[in-house]
Chains A and B, each alone.
Chain A
Amino acid sequence: MTTIAQQTALAAGKATVFSPGAWQKILAFASLVVLMTVFSIASENFLQPDNIIGILQATAVNGVLAVAATFVIITGGIDLSVGTLMTFCAVIAGVFLTYWGLPMPVGIMAAIAAGALAGSVSGVLIAKMKIPPFIATLGMMMLLKGLALVISGTRPIYFNDTPNFPVISQESLIGEILPFLPIPNGVLILFVVAVASSIVLTRTALGRYTFALGSNEEAVRLSGVNTDFWKIIVYTVSGAICGIAGLIIASRLNSAQPALGQGYELDAIAAVVIGGTSLSGGRGTILGTIIGALIISVLTNGLRILSVAQEWQTVVTGIIIILAVYADILRRKS
């Protein structure tokens, strides 16, 4: 019986070589290549190793935040609090390390745990109290911003007492082993977070429910799955990833800047959307999100090299987002 089943499966399998999401991923990747080609022709500085590393370094924070947002967006939700949650987690690290003088691993764990906790609160607001994700996370965004300011007394917290703290993002573990590849640790963290998230989304039950919730929540509920529980878990994981982003940015600035953070959520959501994740939920990939984040960084960097004013960079990013979503709509129509 199994052999018959396998044969049928194999025979019919050929039809699905191209998944429906493949087109947009190719499109996003092609746009990235085109952008890089254009900038490298326009300026010889663009492809310099230092500049490429700068681009990657700049992608680290937004990339990690975008990965966090991807989880939530695939469930059909939205998270406006990722930016200020990142800052909140950085401040928590500052409290543990600088105010209380605890060892670095404790500070790292505290930042990630704070992110997870805040994420689970969003999850409960949305899943249990049925507050729409937009409103719940808008509230959380402001609440966390306020808390970060209150806890820090509105002043930056410096990590001068923790000399190893800048290592988290700035030095290069890979560079020590392979001197010709001085990839900063922040970028390495982004890579690890992305690979781990991709595995979670495609190979674990949590990932399966993330897609299922975005596809048809009622059907999942009727299948006997505790949808509220899994939704809370998704927001918790997303929050924990924001904690990691908080550590990267705090390490890069060697300080927790409590006023920073607002606005980052929009860049993160933009990266997710450019990467082909559907805002109505049910489909999306981490690879797409990373490509989306890279497109934004390349654009910002390239336009700066060409001495285009920052105001215009923002205009271009806006146009790119609209084009990306319109391309997706055209694809769905055909």
Chain B
Amino acid sequence: MTPLVTITGLDKSFPGVQALKKASFELLPGEVHALMGENGAGKSTLMKILAGIYQKDAGTIRVDGASVDIPSPRAAQDLGISIIHQELNLMNDLTAAQNIFIGREPKRTLGLMLDEDALNRDAAAIFARMNLKLDPRREVGELTVAMQQMVEIAKALSFRSKVLIMDEPTAALNNAETMELFRIIRQLKAEGVGIVYISHKMDELKEISDRVTVMRDGAYVGTLPTASTTMDTIISMMVGRSLTETKEAIPDSIGNDVVLEVRNLRRGHAIQDVSFSLRKGEILGFAGLMGAGRTEVARAIFGADPLDGGEIMVRGSTVAIRSPRDAVRLGIGYLSEDRKRFGLATGMDVATNIVMPCLRRFLSLGMFLKSREIRDTARSYIARLKIKTPSDSQEVRLLSGGNQQKIVIAKWLTRDCEILFFDEPTRGIDVGAKNEIYKLLNTLAAQGRAIVMISSELPEILRMSHRIAVMCEGRLTGILPGEGTTQEDIMRLATQRHSTTATGSTTSAAARELTQ
């Protein structure tokens, strides 16, 4: 059987990172091929090259045995290759049907006018095939994340592609919706479509995939049949080491003072009755799917967004936090997931960024900058946090992601914040730098700071957290111990949706437990 896709020796580098090193991959007709690897292993990059979004530096791609060039998404579509992106790529102001057929609208009247009826009819037919109850005329911006994901899938189906790439398609789906997706996948498989399936959820891969290819640090590690391979084998191929080694012993913080306590926090649908407490020296991990409300909770406590109700207590006394200013005065720091947009003035130098939050301390006569003190302070943090920069006057944008993150941390340390919220602290940072951030977090906790770490990467949550809070659709669905918790435990809480807890999910959760 000729493979649908054969990729060999693919290289790709971005400024500062070699994303792919001689990567290879093969996809057969009618197979579901899982692609696995830690974040940053190069899975998404490899698939984006196949889908024409990035251009390869070197290597060959064969489709149906013939060597091809894929210079654009359109070229990929012409070759029958579609991709469902991890980040939803939809136009919120357009309707579901308009999104699905963007660039391929049916026309009438001399090919000038759009045939809106045909458009909606075709979209409705695809939804019917998917067993999906959705009006094609609904604006996408009004839909839930799960529904938006379904629109993405419908869009990919509409191409009648022979190669379908799904990058974390179930990230925002509940169990019933996931089962629905699997039904569609099996249907496509029977039609001879080859499917590349990227996911971190091991049980899903067991259920749906035929073969699994593992990547690590941009390189190909191996391909195995899923049925005869154990999870442990796959995991050890992924990490190249055993995961347990890297977890530090959880310090006993039960006796420590509670520095932050939150009771019945509420705001619309985003935050529904969230309560938790945080002790000195503790790292509390916040896990959940995208849009679960973790960032919203952090921002609400930090005073960045208003609350409908609830109580916040800092060091035992109830406080009113109306703005980030109030929060900072109480010793609460928030490190945004989007460093470039909220955390750093990237066009300015390292020293300026570090002293920014407490510039008043570095002024003489309330006006003039004390440049020597600024420099000394900056240098001491550069040394303490091991920030790799040629000097304190280097522009921040020229530093790597990991070092930029350290500067954000330094900013909050200069303010002596006792309670720190880290929102996705290692997003976009390479593996080596991640380890340094982890060490830094552990050191900060050991010094007695209380840390909330929001992360979408389960291995990171499991490795770092002393306790793990899990959220789903604005509710805190449970708090798990840092020791002895598995990815599956977290996922179960993270997908415990309000609407389906009674029927679908309990049965399939039970089924899952049986298979383990």
Residues of A within 8 A of B (CB): 1-2, 4-6, 8-9, 11-13, 15-16, 19-20, 199, 203-205, 207-209, 211-212, 214-216, 218-226, 282-283
Contacts and interface: CB of A to CB of B under 8 A. Distances in A.
B90 A16 contact: no
B114 A225 contact: no
Interface stretch (B135-143, B230-238, B425-433): B135-143
A224 B103 contact: yes
B373 to A, nearest CB: 38
B137 A214 contact: no
Given A8-B124, A16-B135, A1 B129 contact: yes
Contact of B73 (A1, A208, A214, A222): A222
A208 B137 contact: no
Contacts of B53: 222
A162 to B, nearest CB: 33
Interface stretch (B28-36, B92-100, B363-371): B92-100
Interface in B119-165: 120-121, 124-125, 127-129, 133-139, 142, 155
Given A5-B121, A215-B92, 10 more contacts: A2-B124, A5-B124, A8-B127, A9-B120, A9-B135, A203-B114, A204-B114, A209-B102, A223-B103, A283-B93
B94 A211 contact: yes
Query: What 5 A-B pairs are tightest by C-beta distance, nearest first?
Result: A12-B135, A5-B124, A224-B74, A215-B91, A282-B93
Contacts of B155: 223
A228 to B, nearest CB: 12
A15 B121 contact: no
B128 A1 contact: yes
Nearest to B72: A224
Interface stretch (B105-113, B198-206, B288-296, B488-496): B105-113
Given A208-B105, A224-B74, A225-B103, A15 B138 contact: yes
A218 B53 CA distance: 11
Interface of B: 53, 72-74, 76-77, 85, 89-94, 98, 102-103, 105, 107, 112-114, 116, 120-121, 124-125, 127-129, 133-139, 142, 155
Contacts of B98: 208, 212
Contacts of A209: 102
Contacts of A16: 135, 137-139
Contact of A220 (B92, B103, B105, B125): B103
Contact of A219 (B90, B105, B113, B134): B90
A248 B102 CA distance: 36
Contacts of A199: 113
A31 B94 CA distance: 28
A13 to B, nearest CB: 5
Given A16-B135, A208-B102, A218 B89 contact: yes
A204 B135 contact: no
Given A211-B91, A282-B91, A223 B114 contact: no
Nearest to A205: B105
B94 A221 contact: no
Contacts of B85: 222
26 contacts: A1-B128, A6-B121, A8-B134, A9-B120, A12-B134, A12-B135, A15-B135, A19-B139, A20-B139, A205-B105, A208-B98, A208-B102, A209-B102, A211-B91, A211-B94, A212-B94, A212-B98, A212-B102, A215-B91, A219-B89, A220-B102, A222-B53, A222-B73, A224-B72, A224-B103, A283-B93
